[in-house]
Amino acid sequence: SQTIHQWPATLVQPVGSPLSLECTVEGTSNPNLYWYRQAAGRGLQLLFYSVGIGQISSEVPQNLSASRPQDRQFILSSKKLLLSDSGFYLCAWSIGGDYGYTFGSGTRLTVV
Amino acid sequence: RKEVEQDPGPFNVPEGATVAFNCTYSNSASQSFFWYRQDCRKEPKLLMSVYSSGNEDGRFTAQLNRASQYISLLIRDSKLSDSATYLCVDQAAGNKLTFGGGTRVLVKP
């Protein structure tokens, strides 16, 4: 069966520090991968998606970036965090079609 | 106008009662729709897909009205464990899902 792993679960980082969140999927090949952010009390905002290794599409301009160095690995990064980067970051995968997404358990990031 | 809009609630529901709420979408080209459930501080989990003919899964019924561009979710015989935020989702081209802001449901004894 397919599983998705996301870590860390919680993170407190100072303003201006770098960020690296990792997401890996097991049990499937060539999944579509997504990074979403959910600010407190808000809806989910799509940040990046990838349909293959090295293929990244950005949905919202910001100081974040994403990379997909391997088929089932998706990384969200920042060189310098802002206070506004605080939120609940969710990685998700899909096989396409009408099957929806499966989300990882998320990383709760607080920038202080 | 937001692509997917939901009444944020909360909908306060007595245990055992029926609750229904809608979601409107703006993209007439959207092909697929879903309802997700999100518990507090947890990731969203797929509740059910929404088909043109409507579909039912136990106490949950989802309907799609393409003419008026809305989908609905009905929960019968509400349980305390149904308390959650319900996210309406549409899937347009490219397999990208767009989420509504969620409708919060509180089931009370």
Q: When comparing pLDDT for B28 and A102, which is higher?
A: A102
Given pLDDT bands bounded at 50, 70 and 90, which one contains residue B24? very high
Q: When comparing pLDDT for B41 and A42, which is higher?
A: B41
Helix and strand totals (H; E) in chain B: 0, 11
Q: Do B95 and A96 touch (CB under 8 A)?
A: yes
Q: What is the pLDDT of residues B43-99, one digit of tens each?
A: 999 999 997 888 999 999 999 999 999 999 999 999 999 999 999 998 876 677 889
Q: What is the pLDDT of residues A3-62, one digit of tens each?
A: 999 999 999 999 999 999 999 999 988 999 999 999 877 789 999 999 999 999 988 867
Whole-number Å distance between alpha carbons of B63 and B52: 7
Please tell me whether the peptide bond between A8 and the residue prior to it is cis, using omega within 30 degrees of 0: yes
| Confidence (pLDDT) at A27 | 92
Identify the residue among A36, A101, A105 best suited for mutation to test binding to B, counting B beta carbons within 10 A and taking the highest.
A101
Is residue A7 within 8 Å of A107, Cβ to Cβ?
yes
Q: Do A43 and B34 touch (CB under 8 A)?
A: no
Q: Which amino acid is at A7?
A: W
